[in-house]
Amino acid sequence: MKSILVKNSIYGVGQAIINLLLVFFAIPIFIKVLGAESYGVFSLVMVIGNLNTFTNLGLTSALVKFIAEQGKNEDSKIDINVNLILMIVLILPLTLIIFYFNNFILLYILKIPESLLDEAKRLFFWVLWGNAFILIGQTFKSILDALQKIYISSLLQVIYNIFYWGLILSSLLLGFKLPMIGFSIFIASFVWLIATIIFAYRVWGPISFLSFNERYKNSAIKQLKYGLKIYTSGMIGFFYEPLSKILISNFIGVAQVGFYDIALRLRGQLWGFIGKVFYPLFPFISEQKDKNIIKKYVHDLEQKTFLIVIPVIAIVILVMYPFITLWLGNNIAIISITAIIIINFHLIGSGTVIPIYQFLLAKDLPQKTIILQLSNVFFNALFFMLTVKILGYYALIIGNVMAILSSFILSLYYQKKYLNSLIFDSFSQIFKITFTLIILILIGYAIKYLLNGYSILILFIIPFVIFVVTILLYKYLKLININDIHRYFGENNTVSRILANIYNI
């Protein structure tokens, strides 16, 4: 089980790296070809176009949970049948309803400029149907994930990302505008759906429909009962970042939506690494019966995540400005400040507590995630409205920070309540981690001072130095040891030996 968790995580991280490269390459071209306003429109349309938020009803997570618990049996076959039927029944009418009200949504909710309204409508159409394919495909992806074949779904996501950004780039370079970008997204979604169905068939076998009986009804009730709690959490979560974009569009301007979206995409790439590492925990925790094992994994993984996050925070602080300068070249200060604050607070306040969030979802406590999401939305909107007249655009950053802090504190409370543990065992650990961060930032700023004006060198030298110094400090401060490497990667394999050699430098 340990080896498959590591394998799934590594493949997930690999998928995140490829997506990172595609996004970094594509966004500057998008803005250069179509302009910041068109990119802002694209970002806004993608908010409403994502039907997963509205229609999923938490059924994806529900199916993963129940198949992981039950294994490959007749109950799971019925759950798959019911899940697919529910997805199709939900997605088709809602897609039509949302598109019917596209004028109202685009003009009055998203505040799309009339000069771009026609293009936005056609983009909206293709994105809606593309996301319908993605949603239907979640049933088949859930089969792969529940059977710990997450490495396969990660590879399929790589295919999707390549088609998604590759077709968008081709459209831009050929002189097409937003409607063709929407069609590109539609094609990428269709390719992903077909590929996911094929691999689910190879892993599970034929997804045959059994005779309808009382068990279908029971399965639907079971999935909806559990899924609706996750859905409620997700729907509330919708009013966090997407609502932030809508607030910016209404109170400040469409171009600023694009600045915020770029910062979110940067955060999303780093967040993707952490998310991919921890996603295999969900089916793993679902099938675990021993609470002590779960407690051990949650507690230890949170500590290790903090150790990973600390050098990343230092790197983000030190290289973001020169990176944005080289990458985009425009609106450097506003994008850099937004990205530094949002990325780092998310890494500490959300990334480090993913394991307890997975525990709440897997062990019939999804209602607690609703409270976490409510705190995010409430504090985000509250602090934005209180400070927008004074701070303008930066009020949104204040709102995001307060939202993250609130959910972080609540996550620690739930961890203490249900697992009787916290992230750290002593104040000594907190002191050592804080000391490490301060040393890394001081060394980084000294290097920046010496390399002033050499942005490219800064981007390469600082991360390397931070990496080496972090290993030395963690070893000296005894924050990590060789047993940690063996526990997660084994003792006699290539990955373990490489990491052990690095640690013993």
pLDDT, tens digit only, all 505 positions of the chain: 455 555 555 655 666 677 767 777 777 888 888 887 888 888 778 776 555 555 566 777 788 888 877 878 888 888 888 888 888 888 888 888 888 888 888 888 777 888 888 888 899 889 888 988 988 898 898 888 888 787 788 788 888 888 888 899 898 888 888 889 999 999 999 999 999 999 999 888 877 666 667 788 888 888 887 777 766 766 676 666 777 777 777 787 777 777 888 887 788 777 666 666 666 666 666 666 777 878 887 888 888 888 888 998 999 999 888 888 887 777 778 888 888 998 888 888 887 888 888 788 777 777 788 888 888 888 888 888 888 888 888 888 888 889 889 989 998 899 888 888 888 888 888 899 999 999 999 999 999 888 876 678 888 899 899 988 998 888 888 887 777 666 666 666 666 666 667 666 5
8-state DSSP, 479? S
Which DSSP string do the residues of 297-326 spell out, in sequence order? HHHHHHHHHHHHHHHHHHHHHHHHHHHHHH
Q: Please provide residue 161's backbone torsions phi and psi, each rounded to the nearest 5 degrees.
A: -60, -40
Nearest Cα residue to 250 out of 395, 49, 41, 110: 110
Can you tell me which residue has the tokens 């609703």? 370
User: Which runs of consecutive H residues, i.e. helices, occur in 174-253?
Assistant: 178-204, 214-238, 241-251
C-alpha separations of 82 from 56, 206, 215, 283 in Å = 13, 15, 10, 20
pLDDT value at position 1? 47
Which DSSP string do the residues of 214-225 spell out, in sequence order? HHHHHHHHHHHH
329: left (phi over 0), alpha (psi -120 to 50) or beta: left
Nearest Cα residue to 164 out of 19, 358, 288, 367: 19
Q: Which residues contact 150 (CB under 8 A, 6 or more apart)?
A: 8, 11, 12, 144, 279, 280, 283
For residue range 345-365, list pLDDT tens digits in order.
888 888 788 888 878 877 777
| 487: exposed, middle or buried (Cβ count in 10 Å: 0-12, 13-18, 19+) | middle
Cα–Cα distance measured from residue 216 to residue 279, given in angstroms and rounded to the nearest whole number: 28
Cα–Cα distance measured from residue 472 to residue 57, given in angstroms and rounded to the nearest whole number: 47
Q: Which residues contact 177 (CB under 8 A, 6 or more apart)?
A: 34, 38, 119
Distance of CA 467 to the CA centre of its chain: 24
pLDDT value at position 438? 94
Amino acid at 501: N
Cα–Cα distance measured from residue 227 to residue 26, given in angstroms and rounded to the nearest whole number: 35
Longest distance between any two alpha carbons in the chain, whole Å: 74
Distance of CA 306 to the CA centre of its chain: 18
**What are 58's two structure tokens?**
């938490």
- Give the pTM: 0.66
Do 82 and 59 contact (CB within 8 A), yes or no?
no
